[in-house]
Amino acid sequence: MDGYYAFMLVATALVLMMTVPALALFYGGMSRSKSVLNMMMMSYVAAAIVGILYVAVGWSMGWSGDGTFFADPTALIWLKDVPTDTYIFVMFQMTFAVITVALISGAVADRMKFSAWLLFVPLWALLCYFPMAHMVFSCTDDSLICGRIGAQDYAGGTAVHINAGVAALVLVLLLGKRMGWPRDQMRPHNLTLTMLGAGLLWFGWYGFNVGSIVFTGDTDEANMAQFFSETGRTFTTTTMATMAAILGWLLIEKLTHGKATSLGAASGIVAGLVAITPATGAVDIEGAVAIGFIAGAVCAWAVSLKYKLGYDDSLDVVGVHLVGGIIGTILIGVFSTSDGAGGIDGLLYGGGAGSLGDQALGVLVAVAYSGVVTAIIALAIKFTLGLRITEEDEAEGIDLTEHGESAYDLHTSMSGGGGKTGVLAASMAPSEGHQA
Amino acid sequence: MKLVTAVIKPHKWEDVREALEIFGVTGMTVSEVSGYGRQKGHTEVYRGAEYDIALVPKIRIEIVVDDDDSADIVGIIVKTAQTGRIGDGKVWVSPIETVIRVRTGDKDEAAL
């Protein structure tokens, strides 16, 4: 199994890259220029805080033994008694905790106190993510979502995406809308960063999905055979779903707004990856294409819900991660095949509706748990430290007021002035034909 | 002395500069500006949200000229910047009371 261990080293680094810098770039590009640094910083500090906290108690809460919601938090505190030759599995799971918390940050653009975020991050990881990871991933017999309900979730449709998506929704409801939303222009300030971030997320997601293999064999030979067949499946279904989701998103955009956009393609990538995350081991190629296409199309529509319902989920964490996560998790009940990792036939493959019911119940439990726990944490912060920066600071720009920085210095001779369209730049430098 | 101010389409700027240079204009002040007239802005769509971008980018040229040259210079700008479509811009001429060259202190015509 040497190859597997080497692969896990790479997979773990890939998943960490999904947060730093991929998600930060993806979100940062969609932010306004006066808040891009704060947006990126929320991912970077989430990595720092959650990573250390995971090693302190997260692994123990997830993996030290039985428990409906979580295992003994102190049994393996600071990896006590965990041999170093299994540390890589701790690190791999740690990267999942990191990105799940960071995902939430997209919803709170422009307006959340940095100190409130620094407090929210460890509390949410401790009370919401670590338990959910136990319920889903460690899969002891009494663990709620995997063990008791029996819902399939290969790499985190519930624990990661639904969890983060619900948290984002609850947090923005308590945080309130940005000043001027939705009347004012808040268009993305740099879509090239977003395209780069989406591409890096796709690349890193191979670590996320393919690295999530759990061996079931009794012998090394059996596990090696499983490794080859299952990683081939997860790599391929991850790829197919993502590609189909790009097309699904662009199709809906073209039909409803007349143009296929780059932000639509970048968003389609993420929507497809989110939806295939729980299903990647369970479905075949047709199932993956269907799930990806459906997720791309539905999420392209779902991101407009916030305007109808009036919640300012700034960068669409709800529309992409909650909706995409639900789609992928539910559709396992339709498209899973018995030669997949779960060994269960879904509705379309003659397995009946039983799996569909389990999946739906898994979704409900994840939504309820995350909703309640996030609300408690966010309310506690709201009525003590406060969640929001002042109106003056928000108008000035959170980069400047919370971090004392600005992302871009595009000005030339005057600190306050500067070019806008850049058409003059070419003729300005060497030409002697005119004077300023 | 007159101040000739022109607001033109950005892609016409190089043509106008070249034409004015051939005529003998040796200096001007140029800035990138935004505004709108009959042309209006345009619409952009991000994740289904439509944004009306009201302002259109333009180039503003300011030249201080001798009274006798102003009509010719206005003519050159209009001829060169014209595409015949909405949004070509405007040129206007205003009187100037006095001009001083900072380096030498030369005044009025001597400062042009």
What tens digit of pLDDT does each residue of B1-36 get?
999 999 999 999 999 999 999 999 999 999 999 999
Question: What is the interface size between A and B, counted as CB pairs within 8 Å?
Answer: 65
pLDDT value for A418 = 41
> In A133-280, at which residue ranges do the beta strands (DSSP E only) sit?
none
Cα gap A105→A301, rounded to integer Å: 21
What tens digit of pLDDT does each residue of A248-280 get? 999 999 999 999 999 999 999 999 999 999 999
pLDDT tens-place string over residues B73-86: 999 999 999 999 99
HEC string for chain B: CEEEEEEECHHHHHHHHHHHHHHCCCCCEEEEEEECCCCCCEEEEECCEEEEECCEEEEEEEEEECHHHHHHHHHHHHHHHCCCCCCCEEEEEEECCCCECCCCCCEHHHHC
Tokens of A46: 């989430």
Q: pLDDT tens digits, residue range A386-425?
A: 999 999 999 999 999 999 999 998 755 544 444 444 556 5
Q: Give the rounded percent of residues in chain A with a pLDDT score beyond 90.
A: 92
Task: Look up the ipTM and state it.
Answer: 0.77
**Which structure tokens are listed for A432?**
């002697």
Task: Kindly report the average pLDDT of chain A as a whole number.
Answer: 94
Is A36 in contact with A99 (CB distance < 8 Å)?
no
How many CB atoms are closer than 10 A to CB B23? 12
Q: In this complex, do B28 and A419 lie within 8 Å of one another by their Cβ atoms?
A: no
- Residues of chain B with Cβ-Cβ distance to A436 below 8 Å are 29-30
Q: How far apart are the C-alpha atoms of A132 and A145, rounded to whole Å?
A: 8
Identify the pLDDT of residue A415.
43
Cross-chain residue pair A420–B34, CB shorter than 8 Å: yes
Kindly give the residue spans of alpha helices, DSSP state H, lying in A110-215: 114-124, 130-133, 163-175, 191-210
- In residues, how long is chain B? 112
Chain B positions touching A300 (Cβ under 8 A) are 47-48
Per CB-CB distance under 8 Å, the chain B contacts of A256 are 48
Which chain B residue is nearest to residue A189, measuring alpha carbons?
Answer: B46
Q: Is A303 in contact with B47 (Cβ distance < 8 A)?
A: yes
Give residue ranges of B with CB < 8 Å to any A CB.
10-11, 13-14, 17-18, 21, 26-30, 32, 34, 44-51, 53, 57, 59
- Within 8 A of A316 by CB-CB distance, chain B residues are 47
Q: What is the DSSP letter of A402?
A: I
Contact criterion met (CB < 8 Å) for A261 and B34 = no
Q: In this complex, do A257 and B14 lie within 8 Å of one another by their Cβ atoms?
A: no
Cβ of A390 under 8 Å from any chain B Cβ? Answer: no
State how far the alpha carbon of B104 is from the alpha carbons of A242, B28, B100, B101, B109, in Å.
68, 18, 8, 6, 13
For A420, which of B13, B26, B32 is closest by C-beta distance?
B32
Determine the pLDDT at residue A411.
Answer: 59
Tens digits of residue pLDDT in A209-239: 999 999 999 999 999 999 999 999 999 999 9
Q: What is the pLDDT of residue A2?
A: 85
Contact list in A for residue B59 (CB cut-off 8 A) is 423-424
The CATH code of domain A2-213+226-403 reads: 1.10.3430.10
Query: If contacts are CB pairs under 8 Å, which of residues 81-110 in chain A contact chain B?
Result: none
Between the CA of residue A76 and those of A96, A122, B30, B99, what are the distances in Å? 19, 18, 68, 81
Contact list in A for residue B13 (CB cut-off 8 A) is 423-424, 427
Which of B17, B29, B51 shows the shortest C-beta gap to A427?
B17
Q: What distance in Å separates the CA atoms of residue A198 and residue A120, rounded to the nearest whole number? A: 26
Closest Cβ opposite residue B48 in set A185, A304, A424: A304
Q: Do B46 and A261 touch (CB under 8 A)?
A: yes
Restricting to A residues 183-202, those with a Cβ less than 8 Å away from any Cβ of B are 185, 187-188
Domains detected in chain B:
2-111 (3.30.70.120)
User: How crowded is residue A345: how many other Cβ atoms within 10 Å of its Cβ?
Assistant: 19
Instruction: Find the CB nearest A419 among B17, B32, B53.
Output: B32
Note the pLDDT tens digit of each residue in A322-381: 999 999 999 999 999 999 998 999 999 999 999 999 999 999 999 999 999 999 999 999
**Testing the interface with B: which of A27, A32, A187 to mutate, by most B Cβ within 10 A?**
A187
Placement of tokens 């789609």 in the chain: A327
In a 13 Å sphere around the CA of B103, the CA atoms on its Cβ side amount to 3
Half-sphere exposure at residue A76, Cβ-oriented, CA atoms within 13 angstroms: 21
Position B43, amino acid: T
Note whether A421 contacts B13, CB cutoff 8 Å. no
- The type of residue at A206 is Y
Collapsed DSSP state (helix, strand, coil) of residue A405? coil
Distance from CA of A305 to the nearest CA of B (A): 10
Distance in Å, alpha carbon of B2 to nearest chain A alpha carbon: 18
Domain boundaries defined on chain A: 2-213+226-403
Integer angstrom CA distances of residue B56 from A350, A428, B46: 59, 21, 19
Q: Which residue of A has its CA nearest to B30?
A: A436
User: Looking at chain B, which residue has its C-alpha nearest residue A303?
Assistant: B47
Which residue in the set B21, B34, B50 is minimally distant from A433, CB to CB?
Answer: B21
Orientation of helix A87-104 relative to helix A191-210, angle to 10°: 140
pTM score: 0.90
Residue type for position A383? F
At B54, the pLDDT band (50, 70, 90 cuts) reads confident
Task: State whether A259 and B51 contact (CB < 8 Å).
Answer: no
Q: Compare all CA atoms of chain A with the CA of B51 and give the residue at the minimum distance.
A: A185
Task: Give the up-direction half-sphere exposure of residue B58: CA atoms within 13 A in the CB hemisphere.
Answer: 24
